[in-house]
Structure 1
Amino acid sequence: MHRLARLSTSSALALGLAAGPAFADLTAQQVWGGIEAAMQGFGYSVSATETATSDGLDVTDVVMRFEVPEENSAVTVSMDAVDLVENGDGSVTMTFPASMPITIDAAPEGEDTVNMVLDYANDGLELVVSGDPANMTYAYSANQLTISLSEMNINGEPVGRDEARFDFVLDDVTGTTTTAKSGAMTITQDVQASAASYDFAFNDPQSDDAALITGSMGAVLATSTATLPEGFDPSNPESLTAGGFSATGALSYDDGETQFAATESAGTTSGTTKTGSVRIQFSVDDAAIRYDVTATEQAFTLSGPELPLPVDVRMAASSFNMTAPVAAAEEPQDMAFGIAMRGFEVSDLLWNIFDPGAALPRDPATVALDLTGQVTPFVNLFDPADVARIEATGQVPGELNALTLNDLTVEVAGAKLGGTGQFTFDNDDMTTFDGFPRPTGTVSLTLDGANALIDKLIAMGLLTNEDAMGARMMMSMFAVPGDGADSLKSSLQINEQGHVLANGMRIQ
């Protein structure tokens, strides 16, 4: 997985720099020299033939190559010719060949040898460089950009497009890249496309296995800002935590649709997904990584020979967020985790399996969890040796210092559970709770509609009277009447002595 991530990142970087290079200067020669320096700074070797012209520079036989010797893998970007024309107003226009092949060769020890060629094609791609040497702006546009799998060999055997294909298309692409260098290099990018589509398929001629994934999205927007300190080495993961590195970005699109199918000996499983909108944000620096994604108006269908009936579910909104430290530290660092599924609905066909009489309310369900806290990490996640040491010794990678439950919400079948709370943890006391740091704090819970739900489950035959009595006795032990009818509330506390109390009564 790590090898594939590095190769894909390298090829994506090559494409991005081909469409909007990292930095340049005001003459054609200086622009090309800047591109070479940028690619070399990202770990690529560059070779080309340069020919001066009356209005700029012609660069031919361009080869940019990124190698990973320890994994016996490489990515090579080739361009027949790049024309750089000085416009007379201090700007330089660059035009690129209609096709720029990207070759990926991977022969890791003990695995299949894979050689593939991706055809990076464009319709009307043009780039204009302007600004001053220390702060350059690159404006680019294209009617269409495409990436297609044109050749593939596995262990020397060719794989045709009837066996494997991949196509990705961006329409009406515009974007800008700005760079500023003052010791560190800061790169800011803003790219948008009116639409994107993708098509992936494979078919194994020696078996019945096959797969197909196609999809599209509209109003695609991507933004990013990266600061690369002097001496930054992209091939060394430790450079990410050496100090001075940071990156933030966002990706969004509307009206996403996907169709997929997978065929095996048992038959074909197929389905669809739809989203009204998707928003993704991330940031990473030498201390932490942060990730936040939200989606609206989601729908999912699935049917196949191994499913007793078709699956059809919908969700009004969903979200996921995470903050995690990446470098070892002596002091507690912030962390966060959140997940939510709101307005979750399933089809009546699924409901009728266990509730044919519609006894339960079929209102949209919600499940949400929001946690923040502090941890002290003992390991640098970007240092392979550090991670390997932790894995080999079985040492814990860090300690939990504090945890806050900002929100717990579960709404389903007419009942609602809610909760908030806060705890700190004493890592010097690992005996009170048998190997777990002793917590101190309180969590407050509310439960509405539980008795009505239990009564309905009894009437449906899904719960016996004996089981219901046990559940009600358990609730009475830990909860007291709430503010309304069929409402309960509870305050669970762990004090500094390690005692567990429910509503002031000690239970442990």
Structure 2
Amino acid sequence: MNRPLATSALALILGAGPALADVTPAEVWQSLQDSYEQMGYAVQVGSEDASDEAITLTDVVLTVDGEADAPDMILTLPEIVLTAVGDGTVRSVVGGQMTLESSAVPEGDDEAVGFSMTMDAPGNETISSGTPEALTHDVTMPTLTMSGRALDDRNEVPLTATLTGVTGSQTVTTAADGASTQTFEGRADALEAQITASGPSLAATDAPETAPDATDAPEASEAPDAPAATAETDDFQATITIADLSMQGDGTSPAGEVNFGSQPTQALQAGFGGKGSFAMGATSGSFTASTLTADGSRNDSEGSFQAASGTLAVGISKDGLSYEGGLTDMTTNLTATGMPFPIAYGAAENRFRLAMPIVASDQEQPFALTYVLDGLTLDDAIWQALDPEAALPRDPASLTIDLEGTAMLTQNFMDPDFPQPVEPGPDGAAPMPLQPRSLTIKELALDAVGATADLSGALTFGEDPSQPLGKIEGTFGGINGLLDTLVAMGVVPQEQLMGPRMMMAMFARPVEGNPDQLQTEIEFRENGAIFANGQQIQ
């Protein structure tokens, strides 16, 4: 299983519960080891020099052994010094340059892929307080600098990132049976990251092969060498800056030997779980790219983006997996060789949410999907190319998709072999591991170029998802006006509108007193019958 960099690189800097009680260096170190072994890490120590007042650990290595195509991960900390401060607390300092390497060997290949990274945190310290059963660790790092590259001999992808003003606090409370609960919060003043990618151009190395005439083929010993790859490269550079980062969350780890790293489903069933959220302030980024084309010319592009704020949140437990995030007041700009005009657009809000079951059950489980794009605007250059006569309304557009329902999950989503092969049913089709049982369309709305659509409804599904039961209702506005405008613009010939208008008449009817406002009611009945506004269409 992959481990987020935060839980790996900061693993032994962050700790865990209530203060104002005595704790020793040995107790702090034991608590940290127990926490990471519960998460599936193997902890090794090169050497240990311990006394009642201090412990010095050298060559501390946290390891996760990957399974199948999952990567191995190794985090090495050259030195950790834990010292009793004298007021019942313990001060911990990580010394030297930390290293993190994650790698995997794809099936059918003998070369590992992944990345290696070094991390420097000068001036870092952690103050641990409380008791072994309830520890609090308060972390301070003036700067955390990360520098890494891909494990690839052909392509260079160096990455550097610097966090400034890092502070955080984590608590871990451990019960008598070994189960634990955790909370954490942290912040950083800013993040600055740069990435530079460079490698042999595909256009330069993937030259077509031609077979020589058999009569002219040289002897094997005289066969010419393969043409050497040219020095041409594809290059990419990007810079990202984020201000006012913050994060918070909580989690639970069950008692016993099971851990999430090697047995995710069993750990979830035993009570493992957690949730975390990440927020950021003003965000900006830019990139440049240059690639070689098949005709030998170069395609150069550059772009930038900005956002006023953003959020990201994830949660996992036996009840399901949730993942959501969003940006506000975002703008994007892009130019490229051969592009007839720059692409620039903005949006007041762009957010998403996905929630789904991950532990198999014979009971229905909830799922949800939300996507919102609000206040979408296009640059004048795009409008000029699409609609030079300004026939279409250019008001900000919006799209909303808000769905929820229930489904049967027949296989554990977190298992390494998901999805497993399933015997075909009587109809010859193999059943899907996630089978819908109900769907509620809370909102499905579109507002763009003078036309609107707004749908809602609810469906239920039996063993055959292709034959739902239920009803979907909706209203449409400005459709006829939009079609007439497209004809006037020459986009759609008048004679080609007969088909779309006949379909509209079949599925929708005009609202009394407002012919440009349409409404529809689609009903799904037994045995696959479908009715539109009371008229059977299937």
Whether TM-score is above 0.5 comes out as yes
> Of residues 9, 25, 32 in structure 2, which corresponds to 1:28?
25
Alignment partners' CA distance in 2, 1:64 and 1:218? 31
Which has the larger strand fraction? 1
Structure 1 residue 244: deviation in Å? 0.8
2:477 matched to 1:474?
A: no
Do the aligned residues in 2 keep the contact of 1:136 with 1:180 (CA within 8 Å)?
A: yes
Alignment partners' CA distance in 2, 1:452 and 1:72? 54
* DSSP 3-state at the match of 2:282: strand
Write the deviation string for residues 198-235 of structure 1: whole angstroms up to 9, x where unpaired: 11112226432111121011111111212111223212
Where does residue 37 of structure 1 map in the other structure? Answer: 34
Provide closer, same or farther for how the CA distance between residues 179 and 353 of structure 1 changes in structure 2, counting only shifts above 3 A. same
Where does residue 390 of structure 2 map in the other structure? Answer: 358
Alignment partners' CA distance in 1, 2:27 and 2:456? 59
Alignment partners' CA distance in 2, 1:483 and 1:97? 77
Do the aligned residues in 2 keep the contact of 1:281 with 1:293 (CA within 8 Å)?
A: yes
Alignment partners' CA distance in 1, 2:494 and 2:150? 64
Provide closer, same or farther for how the CA distance between residues 44 and 484 of structure 1 changes in structure 2, counting only shifts above 3 A. farther
Where does residue 87 of structure 2 map in the other structure? Answer: 89
Structure 1 residue 316: deviation in Å? 0.9
Where does residue 168 of structure 1 map in the other structure? Answer: 161
> Of residues 443, 455, 473 in structure 2, which corresponds to 1:419?
455
Provide closer, same or farther for how the CA distance between residues 377 and 75 of structure 1 changes in structure 2, counting only shifts above 3 A. closer
Gaps of 5+ in 1: 1-5, 431-435
Percent same amino acid at aligned positions?
26
Where does residue 63 of structure 1 map in the other structure? Answer: 61
- Structure 2 letter corresponding to 1:451: N
Alignment partners' CA distance in 2, 1:490 and 1:106? 53
Do the aligned residues in 1 keep the contact of 2:150 with 2:158 (CA within 8 Å)?
A: no
Do the aligned residues in 2 keep the contact of 1:39 with 1:46 (CA within 8 Å)?
A: no
Worse-superposed segment, 22-31 or 375-384: 22-31
Structure 1 residue 359: deviation in Å? 0.8
Provide closer, same or farther for how the CA distance between residues 63 and 444 of structure 1 changes in structure 2, counting only shifts above 3 A. closer
Do the aligned residues in 2 keep the contact of 1:10 with 1:66 (CA within 8 Å)?
A: no
> Of residues 237, 242, 247 in structure 1, which corresponds to 2:264?
237
Where does residue 124 of structure 1 map in the other structure? Answer: 123
Structure 1 residue 264: deviation in Å? 0.8
Structure 1 residue 119: deviation in Å? 1.6
- Structure 1 letter corresponding to 2:469: T
Where does residue 251 of structure 2 map in the other structure? Answer: 226
Provide closer, same or farther for how the CA distance between residues 349 and 137 of structure 1 changes in structure 2, counting only shifts above 3 A. same
* DSSP 3-state at the match of 2:461: strand
Gaps of 5+ in 2: 201-230, 293-297
* DSSP 3-state at the match of 2:233: coil
> Of residues 489, 493, 497 in structure 2, which corresponds to 1:464?
493
Alignment partners' CA distance in 1, 2:114 and 2:356? 36
Worse-superposed segment, 196-205 or 390-399: 390-399
Structure 1 residue 304: deviation in Å? 1.2
Do the aligned residues in 2 keep the contact of 1:256 with 1:276 (CA within 8 Å)?
A: yes
Worse-superposed segment, 54-63 or 257-266: 54-63
Write the deviation string for residues 155-195 of structure 1: whole angstroms up to 9, x where unpaired: 6x8x8xxx442111111011100001123222211111111
Structure 1 residue 483: deviation in Å? 6.0
Write the deviation string for residues 235-294 of structure 1: whole angstroms up to 9, x where unpaired: 233334433111111111111111122211132222112111111122111231112212
Write the deviation string for residues 455-485 of structure 1: whole angstroms up to 9, x where unpaired: 2112111122222343333322322222663
Structure 1 residue 105: deviation in Å? 5.2
> Of residues 340, 343, 349 in structure 1, which corresponds to 2:372?
340
Do the aligned residues in 1 keep the contact of 2:76 with 2:98 (CA within 8 Å)?
A: yes
Alignment partners' CA distance in 2, 1:493 and 1:108? 49
Provide closer, same or farther for how the CA distance between residues 450 and 153 of structure 1 changes in structure 2, counting only shifts above 3 A. closer
Provide closer, same or farther for how the CA distance between residues 481 and 386 of structure 1 changes in structure 2, counting only shifts above 3 A. closer
Do the aligned residues in 2 keep the contact of 1:72 with 1:106 (CA within 8 Å)?
A: yes
Do the aligned residues in 1 keep the contact of 2:15 with 2:136 (CA within 8 Å)?
A: no
> Of residues 210, 229, 234 in structure 1, which corresponds to 2:235?
210
Provide closer, same or farther for how the CA distance between residues 210 and 317 of structure 1 changes in structure 2, counting only shifts above 3 A. same
- Structure 2 letter corresponding to 1:400: P
Provide closer, same or farther for how the CA distance between residues 264 and 240 of structure 1 changes in structure 2, counting only shifts above 3 A. farther
Structure 1 residue 82: deviation in Å? 2.0
Worse-superposed segment, 105-114 or 193-202: 105-114
Alignment partners' CA distance in 2, 1:275 and 1:65? 37
Cα RMSD (Å) of the superposition? 2.6
Structure 1 residue 114: deviation in Å? 5.2
Where does residue 344 of structure 2 map in the other structure? Answer: 312
Structure 1 residue 395: deviation in Å? 3.5
Alignment partners' CA distance in 1, 2:113 and 2:474? 55
- Structure 2 letter corresponding to 1:200: I
Do the aligned residues in 2 keep the contact of 1:47 with 1:64 (CA within 8 Å)?
A: no
2:478 matched to 1:449?
A: yes
- Structure 1 letter corresponding to 2:491: L
Where does residue 205 of structure 2 map in the other structure? Answer: none
2:11 matched to 1:14?
A: no
* DSSP 3-state at the match of 1:362: coil
Do the aligned residues in 1 keep the contact of 2:16 with 2:136 (CA within 8 Å)?
A: no
Do the aligned residues in 2 keep the contact of 1:43 with 1:235 (CA within 8 Å)?
A: no
Do the aligned residues in 2 keep the contact of 1:342 with 1:367 (CA within 8 Å)?
A: yes
Alignment partners' CA distance in 2, 1:10 and 1:359? 50
Provide closer, same or farther for how the CA distance between residues 418 and 82 of structure 1 changes in structure 2, counting only shifts above 3 A. same
> Of residues 201, 213, 216 in structure 1, which corresponds to 2:196?
201
- Structure 2 letter corresponding to 1:412: A
Worse-superposed segment, 363-372 or 182-191: 182-191
Q: How does 1:278-297 map to 2 (within 5 A)?
A: 278-297=310-329
TM-score under structure 2 length normalisation: 0.84
Do the aligned residues in 1 keep the contact of 2:79 with 2:96 (CA within 8 Å)?
A: no
Alignment partners' CA distance in 1, 2:471 and 2:183? 45
Worse-superposed segment, 306-315 or 381-390: 381-390
* DSSP 3-state at the match of 2:469: strand
Provide closer, same or farther for how the CA distance between residues 72 and 87 of structure 1 changes in structure 2, counting only shifts above 3 A. same
Where does residue 433 of structure 1 map in the other structure? Answer: none
Provide closer, same or farther for how the CA distance between residues 403 and 62 of structure 1 changes in structure 2, counting only shifts above 3 A. closer
Alignment partners' CA distance in 1, 2:70 and 2:279? 35
Q: How does 1:245-264 map to 2 (within 5 A)?
A: 245-264=272-291
Q: What is the number of equivalent residue pairs in this alignment? A: 489
Write the deviation string for residues 123-154 of structure 1: whole angstroms up to 9, x where unpaired: 321100011221111111111111112x7764
Worse-superposed segment, 199-208 or 112-121: 112-121
Provide closer, same or farther for how the CA distance between residues 46 and 270 of structure 1 changes in structure 2, counting only shifts above 3 A. same
- Structure 1 letter corresponding to 2:275: T
> Of residues 323, 327, 346 in structure 1, which corresponds to 2:355?
323
Structure 1 residue 93: deviation in Å? 0.9
- Structure 2 letter corresponding to 1:165: P
Provide closer, same or farther for how the CA distance between residues 111 and 391 of structure 1 changes in structure 2, counting only shifts above 3 A. farther
Provide closer, same or farther for how the CA distance between residues 442 and 328 of structure 1 changes in structure 2, counting only shifts above 3 A. same
